[in-house]
């Protein structure tokens, strides 16, 4: 009887200790990291949008602000010329929330194949926000007649970015044209033309 009481008490203590050990948010690898470099993010300054896509992304992530290490967040400023486009792209490691500071943007994302590649879009004005789920292809287009500015918060210190056209048609070395001809179901001359284009990187 005494042994049973001891066993039950021990199991209760272990269960309680396990509960305490898992009853808090996981902590980062370190409490904080004080950046020592004199980095000027320049997010207050507009960027040059005179390029083929008419936009410019200024990222603030762990690569240029060490203080973000282990915090799971990053930021970007996106400047748009009239009709400027932040081309279809994806962030493999982060969800993005976009806030329009100036102008009018047409934004959208496409769901995965299993969800039927459904397109969700919205026209955003100053003060509006929109969320792009992690890993999904998304874009922003300035549909106004003046410059536009947006800020994006991302749920990773290093969200990564894959611009679809650049990756598919501008890879080095190029993807075999037979692969792209079959994948896009177009003539090989179209693929050849697209692979010879200069694919501008606005990041």
Grade residue 66 by pLDDT with cuts at 50, 70 and 90: confident
85 lies in some domain: yes
Higher confidence at residue 64 or residue 97?
Answer: 97
Grade residue 68 by pLDDT with cuts at 50, 70 and 90: confident
CATH of the domain at 89: 2.60.120.10
Q: Quote the percentage of the chain above a pLDDT of 70.
A: 79
Question: What is the rounded average pLDDT of the residues 13-24?
Answer: 55
Helix (H) or strand (E) holding 183: helix 177-184
d(CA 157, CA 62): 5
Q: Considering its fold, how many domains does the chain have in total?
A: 1
Residue of 168, 161, 158 whose CA lies nearest to 197 = 168
The pLDDT, as a whole number, for residue 40 is 60
189 lies in some domain: yes
User: What are the residues facing 99 on neighbouring strands?
Assistant: 129, 151
Residue of 67, 70, 103 whose CA lies nearest to 86 = 103
The pLDDT, as a whole number, for residue 43 is 86
pLDDT over threshold 50, residue 100? yes
19 lies in some domain: no
Domain that holds residue 159: 55-195
Residue of 100, 87, 184 whose CA lies nearest to 138 = 87
pLDDT over threshold 70, residue 57? yes
39 lies in some domain: no
Full-model pTM: 0.81
26 lies in some domain: no
Grade residue 23 by pLDDT with cuts at 50, 70 and 90: very low
61 lies in some domain: yes
pLDDT over threshold 50, residue 125? yes
**Terminal-to-terminal C-alpha distance of the chain:** 71
Grade residue 64 by pLDDT with cuts at 50, 70 and 90: confident
d(CA 90, CA 85): 14
160 lies in some domain: yes
Decide: residue 143, CB within 10 A, 0-12 exposed, 13-18 middle, 19+ buried. middle
d(CA 10, CA 70): 37
The pLDDT, as a whole number, for residue 65 is 84
2 lies in some domain: no
């Amino acid at each position: 009887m005494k042994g049973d009481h001891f066993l039950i008490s021990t199991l209760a203590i272990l269960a309680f200790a396990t509960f305490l050990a898992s009853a808090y948010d996981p902590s980062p690898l370190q409490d904080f990291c004080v950046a020592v470099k004199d980095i000027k993010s320049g997010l207050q300054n507009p960027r040059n949008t005179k390029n083929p896509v008419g936009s410019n992304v200024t990222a603030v992530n762990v690569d240029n602000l060490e203080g973000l290490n282990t915090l799971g967040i990053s930021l970007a400023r996106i400047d748009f010329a009239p009709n400027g486009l932040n081309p279809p792209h994806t962030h493999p490691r982060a969800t993005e929330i976009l806030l329009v500071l100036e102008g009018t943007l047409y934004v959208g994302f496409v769901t995965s194949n299993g969800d039927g590649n459904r397109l969700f879009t919205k026209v955003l004005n100053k003060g509006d926000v929109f969320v792009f789920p992690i890993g999904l292809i998304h874009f922003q287009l300035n549909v106004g007649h003046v410059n536009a500015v947006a800020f994006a918060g991302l749920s990773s210190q290093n969200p990564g970015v894959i611009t679809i056209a650049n990756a598919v048609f501008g890879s080095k070395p190029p993807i075999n044209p037979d692969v792209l001809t079959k994948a896009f179901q177009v003539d090989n001359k179209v693929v050849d033309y697209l692979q010879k284009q200069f694919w501008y990187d606005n990041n």
